[in-house]
Chains A and B, each alone.
Chain A
């Protein structure tokens, strides 16, 4: 009896929390199919359900009346986020392994200082970086290009990757490296075949961080591009006008959240199914 009531309580809590989390998405979904009337007028009896469906919001995303075509910005965002994340992950992982395993010395500067130097890049507010980035890209002729954005995002994502990975590599026992050397492994093979598989969870975490940050950034995408190249967050904001198009913004929010939601779902499955079982102590 006690067990049953405990179970009921448990489900109640979980249910309440789920509703709290899922509700905004449902609201977004229903709003995206409403017309101006449906949003402002409200329902007589059944809120969120009683309205006349309209595809105006969705058509606005693809160049419909009062909208912009988000296909191109969407693709741009995918390209920039994926390439910047992948490059940051590769460079960051290599740097982190070096910082975790080898001793660097430059005067009073030690490994810990170098690691901190990486992180310190993220301490200042982004606005401080905007002007230097702008000037640098201008000099390089990379303003308003995908390459320029990718480079800037790498500068922003690399510290995160290094920071997360240094921690994970430090938790992989050094004895493992030493054993691999004794087994006749070269340092590169040791890193790739022995240490990296053990730092898999770290790679997933760092990768998630990079993707989320890269995908959601508005500020740099806004300041460093003008007309030729546009990223998704910027084009969503461009949907806005004197009359706020809730329906179109909702539809845009859904398409921009979707990839991350799917990713989170897959990673969660992967982690809980034991895709990484045994990779950590």
Chain B
């Protein structure tokens, strides 16, 4: 287990090329759970490969417990990784797979057996120990991969690279639960890479949102939800995506034209493209003096909630309303948003 520090870490695949990962600094606490969230090609895998040592960063340093490991080979970093596509040693049995990291480290056979037995027991693989590993199902293979990390008592970190992508939906839920349980039990530094916001938000204590090679925001799931640092985060996290309405600065306030949605402009707001953002969840239906009034364009039924697309002249916005309402497309609807939930963005970045 280790605390992982990334110091102005960045990577370009060749000098002169744009950054695949723009330099940033961050510390991941020992035993913490982190999620790297972002669309494909955003630099998540680059970051993971740098941490595991498969890739040498062009900029910055990686430290494990304060020790610089930037130039250290993968094999000496004591990292475990669960890949997107289950990777196992096909020519070995399940037990041999689990014990392999210890074999590589020259641990005595008797100790390997004890350790493998206890981990297999914990992961529910005890029945399968004698079976050839290739005969396992995809989710069991992922557990074996995880197990290869867990058998090492001193493993620095476990990296999960979209481990649930190829798992059947029903098993996915189960495997996610096991991953979380194991993590709480073993208190390992765990980094989950995913493009699934639910997966990231439910698993990690801290979510790192990435886009186009840049770390756009890192924080607790709630903070990301309540105060997205950029329009991209607001759009990427939450379902439906956050509303961003083009706004203008007028006499000390930022206002959305054609509505009375407005927020006090902070000092020194400066020039730029302004927008007001709010979560669909934060809108309230009001019958008198609504801030925005419009026509119901579409309704998505989501169990206890209904998501409504509201059209007010040139604007389209989405609101999440408690279900049980008798709404039809074409109905008039007025909404208000509490002032504390209205956020001002300039050029796509949160200012207030």
Supposing A179-B81, A179-B83, A278-B132 touch, asked if A184 and B104 sit within 8 A by C-beta, the answer is yes
Find the B residue at minimum CB distance from A178.
B54
B86 → chain A, closest Cβ, in Å?
Answer: 9
A112 at interface, CB cutoff 8 A: no
The stretch from B36-44, B71-79, B192-200, B273-281 touching chain A is B71-79
Q: Which residue of B lies closest to A185 (CB)?
A: B104
Tell whether A184 pairs with B78 under 8 Å between CB atoms, given A278-B132, A278-B134: yes
Contacts of A181 in B (CB 8 A): 53-54, 73-75
Q: Are A279 and B75 touching (Cβ within 8 A)?
A: no
- Considering the complex, give the chain B residue whose CB is closest to the CB of A183: B101
Instruction: Give the complex CA separation of A178 and B81 in angstroms.
Output: 9
* Chain B residues within CB distance 8 Å of chain A: 52-54, 73-81, 83, 85, 87, 89-91, 100-101, 104-105, 132, 134-135, 145, 148
| Any B CB within 8 A of the CB of A194 | yes
Q: Which of B52, B89, B101 contacts A176 (CB 8 A)?
A: B89
> Would you call A176 and B135 a contact (CB within 8 A)?
no
14 examples of A-B residue contacts, CB within 8 angstroms: A179-B145, A179-B148, A181-B54, A181-B73, A183-B80, A184-B105, A185-B104, A186-B75, A186-B104, A189-B104, A198-B91, A200-B91, A278-B134, A279-B91
* A107 contacts chain B at the CB level, 8 A cutoff: no
A197 proximal to B (CB < 8 A): yes
> Across the interface, which residues of A come within 8 angstroms of B134, CB to CB?
278
- Does A1 sit within 8 A of B, measured CB to CB? no
- Give the Cβ gap from A193 to chain B, nearest Cβ, in Å: 8
Chain B residues with Cβ under 8 A from A173's Cβ? 85, 87
Q: Give complex CA distance A200, B92 in Å.
A: 13
A278 touches B75 (CB 8 A): no
**Chain A contact residues: helix, strand, loop or mixed:** helix
Q: Which residues of B contact A41 (CB under 8 A)?
A: none
Residues from chain A with Cβ under 8 Å of B78 in the complex: 184
Of the candidates A182, A184, A189, the one whose C-beta lies within 8 Å of that of B52 is A182
Complex Cα distance, B92 from A198, in Å, reads: 10
Q: Does A278 lie within 8 Å of B90, measured CB to CB? A: yes
Interface residues of A in 161-220 (CB under 8 A from B): 173, 175-176, 178-186, 189, 194, 197-198, 200
A196–chain B nearest beta-carbon distance, Å: 9
In chain B, what residue has the closest Cβ to A194? Answer: B89
In the complex, which residues of chain B have a beta carbon less than 8 angstroms from the beta carbon of A278? 90-91, 132, 134-135
Contact of A197 among B53, B79, B91 (CB under 8 A): B91
A173 to B87, CA, bound (A): 9
A281 and B134 CA atoms in complex are apart in Å by 9
Q: Tell me, rounded to whole Å, the shortest Cβ–Cβ distance linking B130 to chain A.
A: 14
- Looking at the assembled complex, report how far the CB atom of B267 sits from the nearest CB atom of chain A, in whole angstroms: 51
B81 A182 Cβ-Cβ under 8 A: yes
CB distance from B25 to the nearest CB of A (A): 25
Identify the closest chain A residue to B73 (Cβ).
Answer: A181
Which residues of the partner chain B approach A176 to less than 8 Å between Cβ atoms?
87, 89
Whole-angstrom distance between the Cβ of A213 and the nearest chain B Cβ = 28
Q: Evaluate contact between B90 and A182: CB separation under 8 angstroms.
A: no
> Nearest chain B CB to A200's CB is how many angstroms away?
8
Q: Interface readout for A248-281 with B: 1 if CB under 8 Å, 0 if not? A: 0000000000000000000000000000001101
**A175-B52 contact, Cβ under 8 Å, with A181-B73, A197-B91, A278-B132:** no
A183: contacting residue among B90, B91, B104, B132, CB under 8 A: B104
CA distance A179 to B132 in the complex (A): 18
Whether A183 touches B100, Cβ cut-off 8 Å, given contacts A178-B74, A278-B134, A278-B135, is yes
Residues of B near A178 (CB, < 8 A) are 52, 54, 74, 81
Instruction: Pick from A182, A197, A279, A281: contact of B74, CB below 8 A.
Output: A182
